[in-house]
């Protein structure tokens, strides 16, 4: 069904009655909860930290940030959280892509990895992640190539 244009047209248009069995079926097929309350925005908002945190060296952390109070909301809808496009993002950290439901209190979870050998402190109100509505969960393309380490032939391990 997912390769059919009709499926994606129906999924994009939504269903007029929120509790209809058709919408529930589409949500199950798409692995998401559809955005409610009008057309979904292109971008829900940018997540900011509510307090400073310290990330331990070479560790992955689950971090909770909050969307601004003027953000368009559809609690329970599925969203994608990705690294922000803002140029103020700190170096030596990596934000993992997360698919999660949108909480009514505007708190959003995301994964942060500290790539450096030292602890990194992220300041309060630091912009780390952008939140986008999710129409369907599909396999994401790998946008980065694989890294291969090459050892010159002249160097031999003894």
- List phi, psi (to 5°) of 22: -65, -45
Task: Judge contact between 45 and 129, C-beta under 8 A.
Answer: no
What does the DSSP 8-state code read for residue 3?
Answer: T
* Domain definitions of the chain by residue range: 1-30, 36-133
Task: Kindly report the pTM of this predicted structure.
Answer: 0.69
- Fold of the domain spanning 36-133: Deoxyuridine 5'-Triphosphate Nucleotidohydrolase; Chain A (2.70.40)
The predicted-structure confidence for 109-134, as pLDDT tens digits, reads as follows 999 999 999 999 999 999 999 999 88
By C-alpha distance, which of 126, 124, 71, 128 is closest to 102? 71
Residue the block writes with tokens 């380490």: 149
The predicted-structure confidence for 37-70, as pLDDT tens digits, reads as follows 778 888 999 999 999 999 999 999 999 999 999 9
């Amino acid at each position: 069904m997912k390769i059919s244009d009709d499926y994606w047209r129906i999924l994009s248009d939504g269903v007029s009655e929120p509790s209809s069995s058709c919408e529930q079926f589409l949500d199950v097929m798409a692995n998401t909860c559809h955005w409610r309350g009008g057309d979904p925005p292109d971008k829900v908002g940018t997540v900011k930290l509510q307090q400073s945190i310290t990330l331990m060296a070479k560790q992955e952390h689950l971090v909770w940030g909050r969307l601004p109070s003027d953000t368009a909301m559809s609690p329970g809808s599925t969203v994608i959280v990705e690294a922000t496009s803002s140029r103020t993002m700190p170096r030596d950290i990596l934000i993992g892509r997360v698919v999660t439901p949108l909480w009514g209190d505007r708190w959003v979870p995301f994964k942060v990895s500290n790539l450096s050998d030292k602890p990194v402190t992220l300041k309060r109100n630091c912009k780390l992640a952008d939140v986008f509505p999710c129409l369907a969960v599909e396999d994401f393309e790998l946008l980065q190539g694989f890294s291969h380490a090459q050892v010159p032939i002249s160097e031999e391990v003894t």
